[in-house]
Amino acid sequence: MEKAKEDTKDIAKDDGDVLIYALYPTTGMRYLRWKYGLEEPPADTKPKSLEDIKREDELIARAKAGKLVEKVEKPVPPKGAGLRTYNVFVGDEYYEVEVEPAGGTQVINRPVASATPARPAQPIVTQETKKAPAVSTEGAVLAPMPGIIIRYEVAQGQAVKAGDTIVILEAMKMESVLPTPIDGTVKDIRFKPGDRVIKDDVIAVIG
């Protein structure tokens, strides 16, 4: 607690602030900066206003009533001589629909025979597109779930053995220790402390 008090002496207002930082150093400090106006919080962390809630309730009510998309009412035209009936199958469901081209009788365009025989189409030769080599995940340290990078326990270029701790990830208010799956050298560190990651992000590469 003494270290937490020292780290938060310029921002904490009471013991509660210090305790938040002591439990969650990275996210706790970020919260305190939001709390005291030192940093603008992301939009998804801001509370909803009464107006926002009212708009959401109205949207839900319209969706339940089938009025989410406003339909423009148009007069139904009389059925003409060009009306055709089609069977439509959607999975195990069957529908019979009537179709008529707008504006009158359907016109079918037919190809006109040419006196000159058509030349066979020449094959189009294109340069083969090279695919990017697949990234091997054998030495990749992957995020097992969304979270925040707390700190790395190694530096780029450092030799490690299978099972050595590479990074500490905070997720669901718990710190997870992520080890290297193989012996090797830390080839790449892709995030920095405080960055957010999603599931299966490559946090570091061991080669």
Nearest in space to 34 (alpha carbons), one of 46, 25, 18, 20: 46
Q: What CA–CA distance (Å, rounded) separates 51 from 65?
A: 21
Q: What CA–CA distance (Å, rounded) separates 160 from 206?
A: 8
CB atoms within 10 A of CB 183: 13
Using a 10 angstrom Cβ sphere, with 0-12 exposed, 13-18 middle and 19 or more buried, the burial of residue 18 is buried
Instruction: Quote the pLDDT of residue 69.
Output: 63
Range with the largest mean pLDDT of 32-46, 106-120, 145-159: 145-159
Q: What is the average per-residue pLDDT within 47-73?
A: 78
Residue 5 has pLDDT above 70, yes or no: yes
Domains, in order of start, for the chain: 1-70 (no CATH), 140-206 (2.40.50.100)
Instruction: Quote the pLDDT of residue 176.
Output: 87
Terminal-to-terminal C-alpha distance of the chain: 39
Answer with the residue of higher pLDDT: 42 or 16. 16
Answer with the residue of higher pLDDT: 49 or 186. 186
pLDDT digits (tens, 9 = 90+) for 112-147: 444 455 555 555 444 443 333 344 578 899 998 899
pLDDT digits (tens, 9 = 90+) for 12-30: 999 999 999 999 888 888 8
Q: What is the average per-residue pLDDT within 191-204?
A: 92
Instruction: Quote the pLDDT of residue 103.
Output: 56
Residue 110 has pLDDT above 90, yes or no: no
pLDDT over 70, % of the chain: 78
Instruction: Quote the pLDDT of residue 18.
Output: 92
Range with the largest mean pLDDT of 35-44, 58-67, 147-156: 147-156
pLDDT over 90, % of the chain: 32
pTM for this one?
Answer: 0.42
